[in-house]
Amino acid sequence: MAITPNEISNKDFKKVFRGYDIDEVDEFLEQIVEEYEKLYKENITNKEKAAALNEKLEHYSNMESTLQSTLLLAQSAAEQAKESSKKEAELIIKDAQETAAGIIKKAEDRVAEINKEYEILKQQFNMFKSRFVGLLQAQMDSIEKSATDLGIEKQ
């Protein structure tokens, strides 16, 4: 059972013959009461401080747990974002390569088509040239024959 400073102060002792000097006992008890009261108050203050510190410690421990959880979540989210970005970049590159390959294929096909058209035009030109030369030759021959028939000399 804890003794309070009031209990010490209000304690009455039986008075017996040939007992201790009452004034001396009272004076000593007053000193004990003062010291005990200081210690008692200091003990209460220390218990309150300890309780407050334990509360703060628990609060900071909870904060630490929350921060650790948040940090782990942030790291996980960052890794997921990184992976997602990497996959998206790979898809963009693949799509760009496919698009470029398609453009190159179309360009190659168009070049082949233009070369084919060029060859056809070249053949047509050569045919036209041959026909035209033939036509001109026939016309020249016809003119020469007409000139010969008319008795005109060649110059």
- Condensed to tens digits (0 to 9), the pLDDT of residues 84-133 reads 999 999 999 999 999 999 999 999 999 999 999 999 999 999 999 999 99
Specify the pTM: 0.45
The Cα 40–Cα 42 span in angstroms is: 5
Q: What are phi and psi of 154, to 5 degrees?
A: -80, 140
Report pLDDT digits (tens) over 23-71: 888 888 888 888 888 888 999 999 999 999 999 999 999 999 999 999 9
Q: What is the CB neighbour count within 10 angstroms for residue 65?
A: 10
